[in-house]
Chains A and B, each alone.
Chain A
Amino acid sequence: MIMTRRFFIGTATAGLAGLAGVLPEPVLASGKDLFAAAWMQNGGAGFSILDGDGNELTSVPLPDRGHDVATDRAGRWAVAFARRPGTFAVAVDRQKGSEPIPFSSPEDRHFFGHGVFSPDNRLLYATENDYDNAAGMIGIYDVTAGFNRIGEFPSYGIDPHELILMPDGKTLCIANGGIETHPDFGRAKLNLASMEPSVVFVDTESGEMLEKHTPPAELFRLSTRHMDIDAGGNVWVGCQYEGPETDEPPLLLRVTKGEGYKPVMLPDEARHGLLNYVGSVAANRNENRLVITSPHGNCALVLDTTSGNLVEKIEETNVCGAVAQGSGFLLSSAEGDFGNAKLGRSWDNHIARLL
């Protein structure tokens, strides 16, 4: 069923009102790194703000499964997005500790689970599906006006998933997964024979496409989905392959604006261990390290971003969430692992750092 805006807000508000006693207190950085991640537990969904030791400072219910959390640079907002084909997002004001603000995609759009703030924190960009036209869109939400949707521009591809803001503060890099879906058919993939993955750079001021990089024809089933940026400004893109399991596609691409992309060659054993699926990508820019995770392969690979060489393989059941922490990474899993802590929640695919 497609939730209308009115239906969702009613549902979400009811769900949140029922948990008024645990609505967030102001959650401010106090010298400790803070993180946010979505979870499922006993059929219920929510997202939490917690420290690296797994201590939850606050927890906010969601009407259905969430995916990633976008955070602003002023230490104020954390916004959890629905997993596709969900239509809700929930914003928490960490400074005020007021009631969470739910908002929705328009009726003919749904979210893909990711978003990013503008450098001045006034706008929030979200990847969305214009599903009747099988077109990816970037929805623009006005943070200063209660996350009112004020516009959109194309993602210049199908199935935009993760997006990041480039260091220039005005260019978005968008991973278009290339897979057509429509909420009338649940999460079914409708165009596997004609997928069109791409990595696109878009100017946020004009909404115009600056560059588009597509895998070669023989890799048309290589869905480009998750990304992070290294200290040198290169974008590392993790992929999920929709072809035969016996194929050996590159699962990590390094995209450099103005130059194009190069596949990152991983040692055979490490690549096999991913089972053709990368669920999350996170860079540690201070240490020139990158981690890619595979919940299907129950492993995470740490690479050196200067050489592209494999540094470490971590084996952990259902591992997926990843974010830089200290000189390494904080990982989470669907089994409840959050760093070294074990909580009774199944953590979704991503961890966001709160600034």
Chain B
Amino acid sequence: MRRPLLALLIVAGAFPVPAEAARRSTSAIVSEIMIRAIEDFIQPGYQRFHLASGELTADVERLCAPPSDKALQKARAAFSKTAVAWSHIEIVRFGPVAGENRYERILFYPDRRGVGLKQVQSLVNGFEPYPQTLAELQGKSVALQGLPALEYALSGTGAEALASTESSDRCHYAQLVANNIQSIARELDEAWADPEGVSRLWMNPGSDNPVIRDNREALVELLGVVVHGIEMIRDIRLRGLFGETPESDRPNAAIYRRAGVTFASIAANLQGIQSLFETAGMTLVLAPEEREIGYRISEELAGAIALTQSLDGAPSDLMHSPEGRANLEELRDRLARIKTLTNEDYGNAVGLTAGFSFADGD
């Protein structure tokens, strides 16, 4: 059974303690944070994604036989729910999601050269044959296997016909893709839920542990999820579509624009970061006099989430209005502040002299 976090807080910060004892206490807090990150964020996150993908599969199957407007709307709603559930947990890039191209098979994005779009269009336009089985689909390009491909099948050009065409090839393809997403979601859920599996490795740093040897590495890994998550939103989600000038905008590159959940997805990305940071209690690893940094991170995250949730309408409409541009610029500024707070201020406070990103690969 885990100790109450409040008890740890008292040990670590409320009373003066000898240096050695303080070190041990900080170490205990890091272990606690890692356990909470896995049990209260990662495991439920993948579980929610798995459940949503199951509902999506069922709703797409119902759409194919018999088709109807209502069934199409339901399948689209299930897609949106699944995309948002994935957005909440997609900031986790370590563990099983890094294997067997699982991340890219769920989400091939950004598609800078439109490769994925062209491949899906080749299927729906009849230039290439549809895959007929799940195994056949899994042998094809990752761009044909995941959420963007399914989004196009359900909401792209010509998708309205799904509501009226019996046993269409396009609907069968959508079924296969939904099945594939569910299959990967199951693998991720089960891998993290296994008490003897990957979660055990990440919760128990040790010298013989192949992935994480001590509390410092554990904390760096978690901080990496936060910093890289913010970078991903800033560089891939926002900068990928919102330019410095209107001429450099690319609203058609917005993620999930056909499903209409671009900003719901970005808000879910931010909520995932918030959930990890706060549920795990990452502020508590800071010395009491440094905890203001953690509170400011929480405050900025809450502000960024509220702002993103208030963004209404298609990305192109937002970018055409002065108010919309101002809001997107404010989001960009907030992300920059969160990046500095997490990468530099928090990183320095936990002993990463040059900030977290300094050791980022090159």
Residues of chain A touching chain B, judged by Cβ–Cβ distance below 8 Å, are 1, 40, 67, 83-84, 113, 134, 161, 182, 184-188, 190, 192-194, 225, 240, 242-248, 272, 275, 277, 279, 295-296, 318, 320, 334-336, 346, 349
Contacts and interface: CB of A to CB of B under 8 A. Distances in A.
Given A185-B112, A334-B358, A346-B353, A246 B210 contact: yes
Interface residues of B, number: 35
Contacts of A334: 353-354, 358-359
Contacts, number: 90
A349 B362 CA distance: 8
A320 B347 CA distance: 19
A263 B266 CA distance: 42
Contact of B362 (A84, A182, A193, A272): A84
Nearest to B93: A192
22 contacts: A40-B354, A40-B358, A84-B362, A184-B112, A185-B112, A187-B360, A188-B231, A192-B101, A193-B104, A243-B99, A244-B96, A244-B99, A245-B95, A245-B211, A246-B198, A246-B201, A246-B211, A279-B362, A296-B359, A318-B358, A320-B359, A334-B359
B110 interface: yes
Interface in B92-128: 94-96, 98-99, 101, 103-105, 108, 110, 112-113
Interface stretch (B57-65, B68-76, B235-243): B235-243
A187 B211 contact: no
Interface of B: 94-96, 98-99, 101, 103-105, 108, 110, 112-113, 142, 198, 201, 210-212, 217, 231-232, 234-236, 239-240, 244, 353-354, 358-362
A336 B352 CA distance: 12
A336 B358 CA distance: 13
A84 B244 CA distance: 20
Nearest to A295: B359
A194 B94 CA distance: 18
A240 B358 CA distance: 16
Contacts of B110: 185, 188, 190
Given A188-B236, A193-B104, A247-B99, A346 B354 contact: yes
Nearest to B145: A193
A83 B357 CA distance: 13
Nearest to A268: B210
A243 B97 CA distance: 9
Query: Which one of A161, A182, A193, A240 has the highest number of Cβ atoms from chain B below 10 Å of its Cβ?
Result: A193
Contacts of A182: 112
B210 A186 contact: no
Contacts of B240: 184-185
Contacts of B231: 186-188
A187 B235 contact: yes
A265 B99 CA distance: 23
Contacts of B201: 246
B99 A277 contact: no
A279 B359 CA distance: 9
B148 to A, nearest CB: 13
Contacts of A40: 354, 358
A341 to B, nearest CB: 15
Query: Which one of B112, B212, B235 has the highest number of Cβ atoms from chain A below 10 Å of its Cβ?
Result: B112
Nearest to B250: A184
Contacts of A246: 99, 198, 201, 210-211
